[in-house]
Amino acid sequence: MALLIGVPAETVPGERRLSVVPDVVKKYLDLGAQVMVESGAGQPAHYRDETFIDVRFAASADEVCAAADVVFCVQPLSPERIAALREGAVLIGLLQPWSDAGRVKLLAEKRITAFAMELLPRISRAQSMDVLSSQAAVAGYECALIAADHSPKFFPMLTYAAGTIRPAKVLVIGAGVAGLQAIATARRIGAMVEAYDVRPETREQIESLGAKFVDTGVAAAGTGGYARELTDEEKAKQAERLAKAVAQCDALITTAAIPGKRAPKIITADMVRRMKPGAVVVDMAAESGGNVEGTVAGEKTWINDVLVIGPANIASRMPVHASEMYAKNLFNFISPFIKEGTLALDWEDEVLAGTCLTHAGEIRHAGVKQVLGL
């Protein structure tokens, strides 16, 4: 029988993305696989059932999980859905492997071959599969729009009959994929943009987008494209230099996050209080603890006369393109192992092996085992 790929509806509140879209379904069919989607699963992302051609529809998530050889998800499956999976099935998605030891053990006990896309090795060959980067690009774009929407000032320079209004000044902290997208979007809207990252190699990227690099004299290049943890002395020096730039901006966007770890606290409440009245802070890292002291995930908080926004599940604000990007990432990850309608996993492949969370009744990822103490 042909490989059956299953897509249940997402159930986490506020999650609107989908792990397969009509154009990508065609690619799976061309490889000889079949696709089963829970009826109505695409509705939150504005993909109606009728837009999926040659797809089998299921009445429930349990039906999908019980029948599929490979199951895709955006958010981790609930224990009930994991229990509904066929023993030995393959699960692929953002599985938040560091957050729930019980879920990881359940996947192993059920003998599920689980691939957590957060674990994808950060090498050149894997860039087209990099879910974290594609969704971070969405988040960075959205954070710039959130800042512009909540700012009491125009972002672009405006000339009107009585004179000229100066453009708003935006400061972006963190120049990873999300930060660079936030910089580019704020610049397109017309703001003056400054940006900071502890990795010195990002300076050229920041300046190439037309932003000014804020030099604090602290460099902390780490491994895997992420920054290392700063020393107490470095944190103090960073805070002193950043405080001035923060006080001068009209909108602050922070994007510093490391998968599996709490977000570093970069902006203190005192720094926020010294910002201009009416200034806006958008903390993209709110769900992992926030870069800003006083951020509350999913809430808008006033600190004196400064609005601090902690948006949650930001990529779901733009579900059409976020789903398209996510679906293509998953296809690029699994399609090399679909041969004539069957799945042939190659455990010698460093991308496949490095992304594996559980297989054959074992927790395979050493880093996750260490963090969770398993």
Respond yes or no: is residue 226 known to be catalytic. Answer: yes
Catalytic one of 226, 228, 241, 335: 226
Residue type present at position 215: D
- Catalytic-role residue among 19, 34, 75, 133: 133
Residue 253: CA count within 13 A, CB half-sphere:
33
* Distances in whole angstroms, Cα of residue 225 to Cα of each of 140, 159, 187, 258, 330: 17, 42, 24, 10, 21
Number of H helices, E strands in the chain: 12, 19
Those residues whose C-beta lies under 8 Å from the C-beta of residue 188, and which sit 6 or more positions away, are none
Out of 78, 127, 128, 208, pick the active-site residue: 127
SS3 state of residue 70: strand
Long-range CB pairs of 58-64, under 8 A, 24+ apart, other chains included = 58/6, 58/8, 61/8, 61/9, 61/11, 63/38, 64/6, 64/7, 64/8, 64/36, 64/37, 64/38
Which residues are 281's β-sheet partners? 252, 308
Contacts of 39 (CB under 8 A, 6+ apart): 49, 57, 58, 59
127 is catalytic: yes
**Of 56, 86, 111, 122, which residue is the catalytic one?**
122
Q: Which of 47, 69, 130, 364 is catalytic?
A: 130
E strand segments, 202-285: 212-213, 251-254, 280-283
Point out which residues pair with 193 in neighbouring strands: 170
Are 21 and 327 spatial neighbours (Cβ–Cβ below 8 Å)? yes
SS3 content of the chain, % helix, strand, coil (to 5): 40, 20, 40
Residue 130 bears catalytic tag? yes
Phi, psi of 105 (to 5 degrees): -65, -35
335 is catalytic: no
- Using a 10 angstrom Cβ sphere, with 0-12 exposed, 13-18 middle and 19 or more buried, the burial of residue 184 is buried
Catalytic residues: 122, 127, 130, 133, 226
